[in-house]
Amino acid sequence: MCILSENVIIEDEVTKEFILEIAGDEALDIIEQLKEKGETTDEDIAENVECDLNNVRKILYKLYDNGLADYSRSRDEKSGWITYSWELTLDNIDSVLKERKKVYLEELEERLEYEENNVFYVCPDGHERLTFEEASEEQFECPECGKQMVHYDDDRDIKEIKETIEELKEDLENS
Ligand SMILES: [Zn+2]
């Protein structure tokens, strides 16, 4: 998978979710900018994405911490200002994401087991979802509002988790 090819980075849900998780919504715009320009300064990015410079820097450092971006410093001889040029580290992004997907897959498999091995009860107002054991400790009353909890059918959740697991497995096999 080449991350530079036609918006893969935004289209791939796991990639997107990962970036949102580590760096927030605005990171997607910043990554788009970096993809487009190759190498650019934080000031330039801030101007183009109409985002506060400090915020842009914060996001860039989060990407850096996760091995997705790198920077170089240069000092202007006259003014003494230091400029930071940023670029995406695309070689890393594939391996970072692959690791991430493996972890995500493990989490999903655990979640699937949990969903399959438990019976759930929910508050009709959506406050809580508890396992049968947890709900019986509360006498099947929502801990937040006291309403009678009702049985929750998690078949749809299980189906969705299974589908995502299949997609991830396929993706990992092909990468
Ligand atoms: Zn409730």
Please check whether residue 155 lies inside any domain of the structure.
Answer: yes
Rounded average pLDDT over 106-119: 96
Distance CA 62, CA 73 (A): 17
Domain that holds residue 64: 8-93
DSSP 5: S
Quote the ligand 1 centre to 131 CA distance (angstroms): 15
Please check whether residue 3 lies inside any domain of the structure.
Answer: no
Please check whether residue 85 lies inside any domain of the structure.
Answer: yes
Which stretch of 64-73, 89-98, 160-169 has the lowest confidence by average pLDDT? 89-98
Distance CA 51, CA 150 (A): 46
Nearest to 105 by CA among 41, 172, 45: 172
Quote the ligand 1 centre to 147 CA distance (angstroms): 6
Quote the ligand 1 centre to 134 CA distance (angstroms): 14
At 11, is the pLDDT very low, low, confident or very high (cuts 50, 70, 90)?
A: low
Please check whether residue 100 lies inside any domain of the structure.
Answer: no
User: Is the CB of residue 66 less than 8 Å from the CB of residue 93?
Assistant: no
**Residues 88 and 132 occupy one common structural domain:** no
Please check whether residue 129 lies inside any domain of the structure.
Answer: yes
**Residues 89 and 131 occupy one common structural domain:** no
Give the pLDDT of residue 8.
40
**Residues 23 and 63 occupy one common structural domain:** yes
Please check whether residue 2 lies inside any domain of the structure.
Answer: no
At 168, is the pLDDT very low, low, confident or very high (cuts 50, 70, 90)?
A: confident
Give the pLDDT of residue 69.
92
**Residues 34 and 72 occupy one common structural domain:** yes
How many domains in the chain? 2
**Residues 125 and 71 occupy one common structural domain:** no
Quote the ligand 1 centre to 154 CA distance (angstroms): 18
**Residues 61 and 137 occupy one common structural domain:** no
**Residues 76 and 14 occupy one common structural domain:** yes
Please check whether residue 24 lies inside any domain of the structure.
Answer: yes
Give the CATH number of the domain where residue 71 resides.
1.10.10.10
**Residues 76 and 124 occupy one common structural domain:** no
**Residues 23 and 84 occupy one common structural domain:** yes
Quote the ligand 1 centre to 3 CA distance (angstroms): 44
User: Is the CB of residue 48 less than 8 Å from the CB of residue 33?
Assistant: yes
Please check whether residue 101 lies inside any domain of the structure.
Answer: no
Rounded average pLDDT over 151-168: 94
First vs last Cα of the chain: how many Å apart?
A: 6
Q: In what order do the strands lie in the sheet with 129-131?
A: 129-131, 120-122, 150-152
**Residues 12 and 89 occupy one common structural domain:** yes
- pLDDT tens digits for range 27-84: 888 888 898 888 999 999 998 888 889 999 999 999 999 888 999 999 988 888 899 9
